[in-house]
Structure 1
Amino acid sequence: MVLLNTFAQGYSTLAEAHVLPTSHGDYAAAAAIISYVSSTANPTAQILFGGTILGTSPAPSIAFFSSRGPSLQNPGILKPDITGPGVNVLAAWPFQVGPPTASPPLPGPTFNVGSGTSMSAPHLSGIAAFIKSKHPDWSPAAIMTTADVTDRAGYPILDEQREPADLFATGAGHVNPEKAADPGLVYDIAASDYVGFLCGLYNSQNDSVIARRPVDCSAVPVIPGSMLNYPSISLALEHARNWSTPVTVERTVRNVGEVPSVYYAAVDMFDGDVTVDVVPRELEFSQENQEQRFEVVVWARRNGAKLVQGALRWVSDSYTVRSPISISFP
């Protein structure tokens, strides 16, 4: 069988355990094959088994079926958070895969190649467990605050169409376990902060179910999504603004790296419709676990663009701590 991608599937191909010899072609190959078949009365083809090819590019890249943001329920939280290995993962299997392999029947293989959340979730869970073993006092929010925004060749991570993937496809980037275990700065969130955040989304009854304890939202300070101490910053402006009415969000970082150290702010924005400033522009840390608060001030106006994305980087001699920034217009 020759399995051909549609345009929407782009360059994403899957190593499925098919029941007959199969070649899966991406959309570019599909167009060439269809053109060839249409050009001759007797088209021919053969499948050659070339073995495993290592070091292919681009990698990593975002598959067509990877869920995209933004979060419609709460656009103040950038979704997805992060990406991880999830396509064509060779894995052990607890039962036989596919039909018998011979006649008389012999047991089928007990391995499979899987793709999707069921593959990326155990990767990220295992990485979180690794970091937790190294830093047992870290909260879930402090874990995995460092990711890569470029592929193995140093170029921007691409999507299934071989176009640069935006933050709604990659989140903070592709997980990097080594850097996440030693990130320099972390953004922490207390359990009470989550309750205040949830009270801005749901009622007391629903929040009590989530928190597993009684919650009275009328007595809880509500924390908007953009003000939750997330490593990323996501703003969904409700109406067009002008330069005289900025939007300000606050964040707090905790030093888990070298001391003493000084971090300097650098802002990467890719559109003239937005100007971003950081106050203060530098953070000094004289001790471990010291916290510093800063503000991100956004001047934005609707001037054609519906979405502007970039990043804030805190840079020291040893670390670069990056926070994605996404700003959408009505």
Structure 2
Amino acid sequence: MMKTNYTMQLSLLVSLIFILCSFNQITSVFAAEENQEHDHNLMTYIVHVKKSENVASFQSEDLHSWYHSFLPQNFPHKDRMVFSYRHVASGFAVKLTPEEAKSLQEKDGILLARPERTLSLHTTHSPTFLGLKHGQGLWNDDNLGKGVIIGVIDSGIYPYHPSFNDEGMPPPPAKWKGHCEFTGGKICNNKLIGARSLVKSTIQELPLEKHFHGTHTAAEAAGRFVEDASVFGNAKGVAAGMAPNAHIAMYKVCTDNIPCAESSILAAMDIAIEDGVDVLSLSLGLGSLPFFEDPIAIGAFAATQNGVFVSCSAANSGPGYSTLSNEAPWVLTVGASTIDRKIVALAKLGNGNEYEGETLFQPKDFSEQLMPLVYSGSFGFGNQTQNQSLCLPGSLKNIDLSGKVVVCDVGGRVSTIVKGQEVLNSGGVAMILANSETLGFSTSATAHVLPAVQLSYAAGLTIKEYIKSTYNPSATLIFKGTVIGDSLAPSVVSFSSRGPSQESPGILKPDIIGPGVNILAAWGVSVDNKIPAFNIFPVLQCLVLT
């Protein structure tokens, strides 16, 4: 009997524990769901606070504590605080819900709390074209940027490229206080002296990158001399940045999906000032904003006050008027121009007329025999015609283009490489890319997937008229390779943003133009099975002459 009672009591106890555990699990599920819903509402806010008279004497811990004092006592500071700023702003970046941000905004000492924004990237022969000669003038052997520290705020870097080797380079100046996350030490090597990632994510990653925008721009600014540089055998020569003996510090602020967080950019500029850089180079922007809302203008103002020169790209939103980014008067705003080197191909028509354009892919065995020529926009009706004229993916799948040269219009937010693949999938043997009116005469040297050439808007119109004028239009492509001596260079390229400045129309912007299209520089992976890897990138980086 006693045993039975004991068994019953034990069973009741086990059942009670099970019920309690189940209740706790249900409660935990509800709590987790509530927390998850709360987390989904979190956004990073930039918070500006009234500057303390004692902030200059604050140590890092004192500064963090002071910023934390503006937040509620029960606030999870460690998990939510993103960055604390010292030089570029009196304030911090923190993850808040809209309700928390509204409550914080009402506190004494808080000047502004607003959600952060994301910025976009403004994605060999250049020195010779600029008149820079080894051992002369700005490129005197004792100069070449020696002793200058250039901070590049971008998407990261591929540190193993020979453009960043430190052979024969001295250590950085004694003022350098930076850090290299690749080595865990004060420097990576005497060339690439610093590399930090300011991208906040669940897993802290090294400042490497997948898109190589930062690698390319850093090499343009200060890459070492690298002999026998080329891509697909084109643009052969000695690659070098504008200041080959300068030191580089990379601050990664963009994710591999390209968004560049405002809080990270402010943090990078703040740290770069503390690290001791002499120059800051940024090839990213947010468009025209009031200077007090523009993170680059705010950070650059503080940098200038600390003796740091700031150079930024004008943006790639041209050719319309007032399309500038980075228009503050204390920033050097650089527009993009051509150089006198082209990688040339000709479109030759059946009537004998030839039209010059550009392409990076220069096949040696392509036949110059005339082949049937068609315009991709002549096969459909309505929207279908527009899609086909742009050679959008899938638009030509039911059309037999075997053995034909196909004319495609540039545009439609689809890369010319993707257009070429669509032509290739339908049997086309070559492609002529006709610029939009906006692009005008600006062409790019691109590594296409089939023989191709990009032509001006005017040439495209003429070729389309030729196709309509004859029963048997024909064409071929003739590849000329690297050609130097364009008498029209430098000219401003179509995509380069124009003034006047919206925020300060009385200030002429951009300040200068510099080589910014079809520039050969370091790349992280080989596009032509050649080592070291280089690529031609048709966007501007901030020109740095030291």
Larger helix proportion, structure 1 or 2? 2
TM-score range, shorter chain: 0.3 to 0.5
TM-score normalised according to structure 1 size: 0.33
Structure with higher Rg: it is 2
